[in-house]
Structure 1
Amino acid sequence: MSHYIVVGAGSAGCALAARLTEDPAVEVTLIEAGGQDDADEIHVPAAFGSLMKSRFDWDFDSEPEPALAGRRLYLPRGRVVGGSSSINAMIYIRGNRADWDGYAAAGATGWGYEDVLPYFKRSETNERGANEYHGADGPLTVSENRSRSPLMQAWVAAAREAGLAANEDFNAESQDGVGFYQVTQRDGRRWSTAQAFLRPALDRPNLELVTDALVHRVVVEGGRAVGVELYHDGRLQQRRAEVEVILAAGAYGSPQLLLLSGIGPAAELAPLGIDVVADLPEVGEHLTDHPMSAVGVWTDTESLLTATAPHHLQQFAREGRGPLTSNFAEAGGFLRTDPSLDAPNVQFHAAPAPFVEEGLAVAVDHAWVSSACLLTPESRGKVSLRAPIPSSKPRIVHRYFESEADRAAMIEGVRRAMQIAEQPALAPHVRERMVGAYPASDSDEDVWAHIQRTAQTLYHPAGTCGIGRVVDAELRVQGVEGLRVADASVLPVVPRGNTNAPAIVVGEKAADLLRGVPAAQAADRAEVAA
């Protein structure tokens, strides 16, 4: 019997398990539904598209999305050690100060920007070195992208021509502006939480990693979580936890496990024949995500289409440089579609590749794309059970763009992406616009028709076990003792930007909450341990 069971070896789970087992007296069992992250394509950044719909992907789909003409959207999530940090585009963004301070103002005590900044710094080794905003002694390597395509250099120049400011660091004082993203890579290769946090900890005798194990439910006895039921090695079995069970299965997986365990809205559980353990109506509600829509252009300039040419393969193997180190979305930035906003509401991602059809289309010619995503959606979705069967995929509906304000902001975001694409700096790199991947005009009607036809997820679900609704500020599930959730699902609303870094910090902070370490001592702890 371990002291703690952590369900999900993803971005938060790996960080949590590694930090807890720094104390040799604490025993942790970390359970992952997927297998090891040992495939070559995981570690070659530019190969991340090949991981979609592979054995490393949960391969979820949404229900028909009402505002998107009933389209079902592809929702990839990592089913592998490292979770989505093993299959993502490796962009390191922390969210905006306004996000974290907004959580705290709404009742998430201890989750303000100044509260979480020490955890971001503690987790990070930024190759730029330590400063007011960055750490240089943490396990997570954050580096410059070693592939800066001429197409992306032209895109940044075009964005400047379109009136956007340059920004060298989106994780410092201001998020506004455009530039190149920093990435979670080391020596040009993916540096997931499996590599950063978990691998160094696996030699500890107090950490057990169980892979290829599907957790069916949390076992609750007398109102307390005492373990989990899982299917592993061809049989159904139980693992017991002496102290607590922590769910770190993500914004889709954690609410699904709570519901399967009888923790959720009683009115929905009873018809499925699930005994109600705790009537929590908010489980699975308030799903938020960043929808995005791209404009695509064919070009005669070399793109990632030739990334696997022999000389590039040799460069990657020898130096850890070249187009194979590309994370696709090399460049981008943040803007406010309304100057009166207190923080950006649109984010750009630009890639030197034809990333269309939800990233599933096969590249056949040189191209580049520029996408806009909505950072602050008002629309809310839901995760619920399709059936009381653990192997059944959950029912997910995001309800993207139900809000008129969301539609208006997104239309303006795509229009601004079009304006950037039409600047002089990019003119030498435009052969023709992609038919079906570029609005017919910049009118509201044509841009919205384009969004309805092409919008997809940017892979940032959050909010389904939100602080103040399902868990308290210490991540304890309401109504059940000995049970917490620690992943992006606890964030009350999706933060502004890519969510891998925030999920890692949830795991980091959860470890200190379990150990009773105040947030203000987080940075000091790291220095003492070093």
Structure 2
Amino acid sequence: MTWDYIIIGAGSAGCVLANRLSADPATKVLLLEAGGSDKKLNIWMPALAFKAMADKRTNWKFMSEPDPTRNNRRDMVPRGKGLGGSSSINAMFYVRGNRGDYDHWAQLGNRGWSYDEILPFFKKVEGNRDGVSDIYGKDGAVVVSQVRKPPKLAYVYLEAMKELGYPINPAYNAEPTEGAAIIHVTQHRGTRFSAARGYLDPIKKRPNLKIVTGAVVRRIVFEGRRASGVEYEAAGRVQTDLCGREVILSASAINSPKLLMLSGIGPQAQLREHGIEVLHDSPGVGRNLQEHASTQVKAFVNIKTANQEFNLRGKLKYGLQFIFDRSGYATYTYTGVGLVRTRPDLEYPDIQYHFGAFSANYTHDGIEMQREAAINLQPNVNNSRSRGFLELRSADPNEQPKIQLNLLSDPYDVQTLMAGGRIARAALNTKAFAPYVTGECKPGKDVQTDDEWIAYMRENASGSYHPCGTCKMGIDPAAVVTPDLKVIGVEGLRVVDSSIIPQIPSCNLNAISMAIGEKGAELILRDRSQQAAA
């Protein structure tokens, strides 16, 4: 059978594409996903996100190379594996970013990607079913709501930020974005609302859409320079499905460049090193890898936090609360967000905060809850300038690629993260927190000078699980795709996911990934309509 479209990856963007491209009953769509079903308790119940992230069945669990900018430490780089992709294992934060992010994309030559042009696609994603804010779209596929019954310390966090001069801004996803708020999340009545739940579940039975799980793509097949199909392994058998219109890569900022290189599109010297025939020398494939550098600022508190509640008694208590009214600890991880300017001369916030009324550490297996009663106010660098890269380890499709983050390689990121850490420390030392905070947990009283902060960050900073940029959209020599998301140098192939991001925006990446999916679907359907009219 020949499909009209083959979509590789059922993640945040791939689910959107499957829905929009199969809306026409005459259009045959094949969706390939390496993972399995999203119908698991670890996915459905928000507080179990950390468990889903630690499970190799639902997370690719990529490992980075030793990072010379952080004392050669390695990180787990999570990417969702299963229907919904990372939207099925993430912390569910819904953050759009600001006008400056997307106007900058347009200024780089990406016509059609300015803030005013991308905003309608965010609204196409958003379903304001729970009435959280009138800034959101009303009829979108994914429900956006506020976390339900957050802990008392989340409201103390808001007062602390206000005490420092930052406004409380429940509409932080509109303009202006600056301020602190109880986080908005992709949930409905306390349960996860992933891209799979919003975009795939309502249309799974369309006769013109086939979803294959457990399908590990090996390469894209070409006839000449045109993508004509996909070779993949499923149920122990390698097979090739053919495509009449377009193959669309939506496999993540890690797997999309990997598959391009396995298919002969990438830096020619690297491909030849692994015995891969070069179809098109594209030096930007796997380059421009970006992340939001973050570090932890934690304080001990004199009241119970989630860490002390997750014993047998607490699980019973909050499990019953979840069953009866879908609220409480079972429905959230972090509960506060903050977008701030570290200097008054800045036009837009350069730091995003995640506030959690719990204590956790980043480990090789993901986020691990700690025993101490403590809270965490984590700063992330919004528009980070450090750049890493991704390379093939071999021509084996089953082998993980080399991921080099270089997370603190740019002095701007080091200085900005340090400024964000000092503001977080000030917040935890406000009058608002005084009745609860008993002392600083991290970085500790011995970290005061710039040199001490920098040493602390090189030993403790991590990514925010927001890799992007490895198939950069643009018009410059390092661009991998055009502003229409077509892969440069070949035909019939697009990349539609977070890998096309030219500059990381001031936000968690799930919202923009789904908006990229909506925008990509419109571009594909527009081209098809123009071809039909010609």
TM-score (normalised: structure 1): 0.95
- Distance in 2 (CA, whole Å) between partners of 1:63 and 1:363 is 26
Give me the whole-angstrom Cα distance separating, in 1, the residues matched to 2:191 and 2:34.
Answer: 24
Give the match for residue 271 of structure 1. Answer: 273
**Alignment-derived partner of residue 526 in structure 1:** none
Q: How far, CA to CA, are the matches of 1:3 and 1:244 in structure 2?
A: 7
Equivalent residue for 2:123? 121
- 1:245-256 residue pairs with structure 2 within 5 A? 245-256=247-258
1:351 corresponds to 2:352:
no
1: CA distance, partners of 2:282 / 2:464: 29
User: Hey, what's the Cα distance between the residues in 1 that align with 2:129 and 2:435?
Assistant: 33
State the alpha-carbon separation in 2 of the partners of residues 412 and 362 from structure 1.
26
Cα drift, residue 452 of structure 1: 1.3
Are residue 213 (structure 1) and residue 223 (structure 2) matched? no
Q: Equivalents in 2 of 1:235, 1:442: separation in Å?
A: 59
Q: Which residue of 2 aligns with 1:104?
A: 106
Cα pair 1:46 1:323 within 8 Å, conserved: yes
CA shift in 2, pair 1:43/1:131, >3 Å? closer
Measured after TM superposition, the shift of residue 364 of structure 1 is 2.0
Alignment of 1:174-189 (within 5 A): 174-189=176-191
Residue of structure 1 equivalent to 2:532: none
Q: SS of 2:17's equivalent? A: helix
Distance 2:208 2:121 in 1: 23
In structure 2, the residue matched to 1:52 is 53
Task: Confirm or deny: 8 A CA contact 1:127 1:144 kept in the other structure.
Answer: no
Question: Secondary structure of the equivalent of 2:7?
Answer: strand
1:515: which partner in 2? 525
Instruction: State the distance in 2 between where 1:130 and 1:419 align.
Output: 30
CA distance in 2 between counterparts of 1:124 and 1:332 reads 19
CA-to-partner distance for each residue in 1:479-513, whole Å, 9 max, x for gaps? 11000000011111111110100000111111111
**Structure 1 partner of 2:26:** 25
Check the 8 A contact 2:98/2:175 in 1, yes or no: no
Q: How far apart, CA to CA, are the structure 2 residues paired with 1:276 and 1:258?
A: 11
Match for residue 331 of structure 2 among 303, 310, 325: 325
Matched, 1:231 2:233: yes
Which residue is 1:8 aligned to? 9
Between stretches 417-426 and 298-307, larger displacement belongs to: 298-307
How far off is 1:439 after superposition? 5.9
Q: 2:245 matched to which residue of 1?
A: 243
Give the superposition deviation at 1:462: 1.2
Deviation, 1:131, is 7.9
Deviating more after overlay: 496-505 vs 18-27: 18-27
Matching residue of 1:85: 87
User: For 1:516, what is the secondary structure of its paired residue?
Assistant: helix
The CA distance in 1 between the partners of 2:492 and 2:519, in whole Å, is: 17
Identify the match of residue 144 of structure 1 among 143, 146, 170: 146
Q: Which amino acid aligns with 1:333?
A: G
For 1:329 and 1:490, how far apart are their aligned partners in 2? Answer: 28
Structure 2: which amino acid aligns with 1:471?
V
Cα distance change on mapping 1:243 and 1:130 into 2, 3 Å: farther
Q: Distance in 2 between matches of 1:219 and 1:415?
A: 52
How many angstroms apart in 1 are the aligned matches of 2:503 and 2:342? 20
* Structure 2 unpaired stretches of 5+: 529-534
C-alpha change, 1:437 and 1:56, in structure 2 (3 Å) is farther
1:280 CA displacement: 0.5
Query: What does residue 398 of structure 1 align with?
Result: 405
Query: In the comparison of the two structures, how many residue pairs are matched?
Result: 516
- Tell whether the 8 Å contact from 2:318 to 2:330 is kept in structure 1 after alignment: yes
Deviates more, 1:403-412 or 1:496-505: 403-412
Structure 1 counterpart SS, 2:289: coil
Distance 1:313 1:168 in 2: 28
TM-score (norm 2): 0.94
The 1:439/1:505 distance shift into structure 2, 3 A limit, reads farther
C-alpha distance 437-47 of structure 1, shift in aligned 2 (>3 A): farther
1:92 shift after superposition: 0.4
Question: Is the CA contact 1:139–1:196 (under 8 Å) kept in the aligned structure 2?
Answer: yes
RMSD over equivalenced CA pairs, Å: 1.6
Q: 1:498 aligns with which of 504, 508, 515?
A: 508
Per the alignment, in what secondary structure is the counterpart of residue 348 of structure 1?
Answer: strand
1:440–1:447 contact (8 Å) kept in structure 2: no
**2:193 aligned with 1:191:** yes
Report if the CA contact (8 A) 1:295-1:439 is conserved: no
User: The residue matched to 2:360 in structure 1 has which SS?
Assistant: coil
Determine the structure 2 residue equivalent to 1:475. Answer: 485
Report deviation, 1:6. 0.3
Q: How does 1:356-505 map to 2 (within 5 A)?
A: 356-358=361-363, 359-434=366-441, 437-438=443-444, 440-468=446-474, 469-505=479-515
User: Partner letter of residue 344 of structure 1?
Assistant: P
Note if contact 1:18-1:197 (Cα within 8 Å) is conserved in structure 2: yes
For residue 362 of structure 1, report the CA deviation from its aligned partner. 3.7
